[in-house]
A and B are shown apart, each in its own frame.
Chain A
Amino acid sequence: MEKTMKKYFPVFVLPTLIAFLIAFVVPFVVGLYLSFCEFTTVTNAEFVGLSNYIKAFSNKDFLNALLFTLGFAAVAVVTINIFGFLLALMLTQKLPGTNLFRTVFFMPNLIGGIVLGYIWQSMINGVLSKFGVTMLFDAKYGFWGLIILMNWQMIGYIMIIYIAGLQNVSTDVLEAAKIDGASRIQTLFRITIPMIMPSITICLFLTISNSFKMFDQNLALTGGGPSNKTTMLALDIYKSFYDKVGFEGVGQAKAVVFFVIVAGIAMAQLVLTRRKEVES
């Protein structure tokens, strides 16, 4: 067996490995190196040590963006998962037209973030104009706008994963619970949810990482306004990279910090929810 593995390694693994090296490992290492450099383009970098990291934190923009992103992620993750799960529960009942509804709810996920951002911008501004203001009037409008947009886009996707999970819950167990006299609520919390823990792990991971990494929607919907109060981490990195003279390295340093934060939170979540997974 091991011999066969060795024999076919160059054929099956090597191409992918090379692609992975070129498209992921190399850019990542170069990016890490560039965060310690001052540069205009990637080819004329000059090593400057930690100064980029110091600059990144000496300006309150980055911390503000971090706080806003944390708040956004907390609300978005909870709402998306609850709504996605409820929809999945609804659409796994024996109702007519469930397939149609599944498709319809999934569709927003197929539209690009920039387009969605602009569409929602005009819709939300249209509603707010009845009150004589725009979304940029107050940061809280932008915040809830982003939450609505993110929910609208992600719920369908999360719902599909939950549906797949729910369909895998063995009917034997559910029947046994019914015979034992468990109520529907009891069945849901004691049987169904523990059984779909793997789906929850995936969904939480996807929503957390997507909420942190959100960029296009943020750029298109509010552009960070008013006064950078709705700028999220990815947008802040983009702005430092392109909008300030000589700040490319600082943007890069922020991106490295960003990676550490997102990876840390996502990994912690994976470990925590994995522990809760059960075998039927």
Chain B
Amino acid sequence: MKKKVLCTILGAVMALSTLAGCGAANDKANDTVGNVYYMNFKPEVTEVWEEIAEVYTKETGVEVKVVTAAGGNYESTLKSEIAKTNAPTLFQINGPIGYQAWKDYCADLSDTEFYQALSDKELAIKGEDGGVYGVPYTIEGYGIIYNLEIMNKYFAMDGAVVTSMDEINSYATLKAVTEDMQSKKDDLGIKGVFASTSLLPGEEWRWQTHLANLPVNAEYVANGVSDMNEITFSYADNFKNIFDLYLNNSTTEPKMLGSKGVNDSMAEFALGQCAMVQNGNWAWGQIADVSGNVVKEENVGFLPIYMGLSGEESQGLCVGTENYFCINSQASEVDQKATADFVYWLINSETGKDYMVNKLGNVAPFTTFADDEKPSDPLAKSMLASMESGKTAIPWIFTTFPSQTFKDNFGSALLEYAQGTMEWSGVVDVVVEQWKTEKALIAD
């Protein structure tokens, strides 16, 4: 009899333990004020967001939960999180293509206070019905980051092609300077002019996305459109110009680039092994954090990416955003309201603005920010200076690139070109053909 009882108990325990996982804790449902759940995109600022959540809860009593998706896993984490009962109420998309994927979950934001405060309404993501579904919260820019210390060393040399950064305003000059510097690299104490062209799979975004933005934008402009279902990659030669320059005047042999990541490139720059690297203002942290960093804050600046496009003397940096806030339309009304309030607090209250600008380093495109409320890191400053200098900024149109698959295949083609296993015409074919097939898939 005793045994029987014991068996029953053991069995019951087993049954309970298997079921225990299903009983989700729904005890914290806050019906009147709502909850905010933010799915953070940037792992490097996780702690800041957690601090913001805490501060906001203390100030308003509204519960804010922040979950960060590890680098590169945002889409997959979001896909699983948003299917849960307590789904994220605030998440982000990367542009029109991201909107296509998430449109069932994007709420119309046209009546929210933070959309009303957006300084340039054109920046927001609009749906076919005219609603506003994504609001950008930061502006970023990229170009060629240079180390003025090394550049000045070169300018002081006999027979330098130019004598100041201002004189480099076209591809021809950039090429002449680069090649001259490369031939004098030992005197300059560098391993190469440009940092490694990182082409490890998953690390090629600086080329297949950022660099490709310029020729594709030129093609859009030439056709007077903002998106195309098929491209001819008519400015491929311009892309090749600058890409060859990066490859041939680098710290690394082209055949070895398949082993280099973005971190390697940024470390080379930070350690003074190269004079220039293509990247954006977000990279300052990466440069400053390298141990043994020799690059001084006052010596860092941006050069536009010159590739021989017409009118490039007045060309500025590539400025835009791929960070759009979206509110989950399938969350409850109160939660949506609470989330909109939270975002407005971020861009309107003193505390929120302080976090946005100084801790998150965002150049926030909202009218609520005064002129002096801008981040102070050198790259952000250089970017803002370039924007104000009257040069024509290139918009980020890579948010219309068809898919990650397109970018990945383009990136692998670039790798094969770099190591000499593919002709340039092969790369062009991949771009044209992949663009067409991947765009057709979206249209379905």
A: residues with CB less than 8 A from B are 8, 10-12, 14-16, 18-19, 22, 40-44, 59, 121-122, 125, 129, 132-138, 222-228, 239-240, 242-248
A204 to chain B, nearest CB (A): 32
Q: Determine the distance from Cα of A94 to Cα of B442 in the docked complex, in whole angstroms.
A: 65
Assess whether A132 is in contact with B415, with CB atoms less than 8 Å apart: no
Q: Determine the distance from Cα of A129 to Cα of B258 in the docked complex, in whole angstroms.
A: 11
Chain A residues lying within 8 Å of B102, measured Cβ to Cβ, are: 40
Assess whether A243 is in contact with B404, with CB atoms less than 8 Å apart: yes
Assess whether A125 is in contact with B415, with CB atoms less than 8 Å apart: no
B299 on interface, CB distance cutoff 8 Å:
no
Assess whether A247 is in contact with B18, with CB atoms less than 8 Å apart: no
B284-320 interface with A by 8 A CB criterion: none
The chain A residue with its CB closest to the CB of B13 is A15
Assess whether A132 is in contact with B404, with CB atoms less than 8 Å apart: no
Q: Determine the distance from Cα of A245 to Cα of B103 in the docked complex, in whole angstroms.
A: 12
8 contacts between A and B (CB under 8 A): A14-B15, A18-B18, A40-B102, A41-B82, A42-B83, A136-B199, A225-B415, A227-B412
Chain B residues lying within 8 Å of A121, measured Cβ to Cβ, are: 259
Chain B residues lying within 8 Å of A22, measured Cβ to Cβ, are: 18, 22
Number of interface residues of B (CB under 8 A): 49
Instruction: Given the known inter-chain contacts A224-B201, A227-B413, please indicate yes or no for A245 contacting B442, CB distance below 8 A.
Output: yes
The chain B residue with its CB closest to the CB of A13 is B11
B391 to chain A, nearest CB (A): 34
Contact with A along B63-76 (1 / 0, CB 8 A): 00000000000011
Q: Determine the distance from Cα of A121 to Cα of B80 in the docked complex, in whole angstroms.
A: 30
Assess whether A226 is in contact with B258, with CB atoms less than 8 Å apart: yes
Chain B residues lying within 8 Å of A43, measured Cβ to Cβ, are: 83
Partner of B202, one of A129, A223, A244: A223
Assess whether A246 is in contact with B416, with CB atoms less than 8 Å apart: no
B177-234 interface with A by 8 A CB criterion: 199-202
Assess whether A244 is in contact with B255, with CB atoms less than 8 Å apart: no
B68-112 interface with A by 8 A CB criterion: 75-76, 79-80, 82-83, 97, 100-102, 104-105
Closest 5 CB pairs of A and B: A223-B201, A11-B11, A136-B258, A243-B404, A134-B258
Partner of B444, one of A11, A137, A239, A246: A246
B57 on interface, CB distance cutoff 8 Å:
no
The chain B residue with its CB closest to the CB of A38 is B444
Chain B residues lying within 8 Å of A247, measured Cβ to Cβ, are: 441
Partner of B416, one of A18, A132, A226, A244: A226
The chain B residue with its CB closest to the CB of A248 is B79
Q: Determine the distance from Cα of A247 to Cα of B406 in the docked complex, in whole angstroms.
A: 13
B1 on interface, CB distance cutoff 8 Å:
no
B172 on interface, CB distance cutoff 8 Å:
no
A60 to chain B, nearest CB (A): 11
Instruction: Given the known inter-chain contacts A40-B79, A132-B253, please indicate yes or no for A244 contacting B404, CB distance below 8 A.
Output: yes
B392 on interface, CB distance cutoff 8 Å:
no
Assess whether B15 is in contact with A125, with CB atoms less than 8 Å apart: no
Partner of A133, one of B76, B255, B416: B255
Instruction: Given the known inter-chain contacts A243-B403, A243-B405, please indicate yes or no for A125 contacting B19, CB distance below 8 A.
Output: no
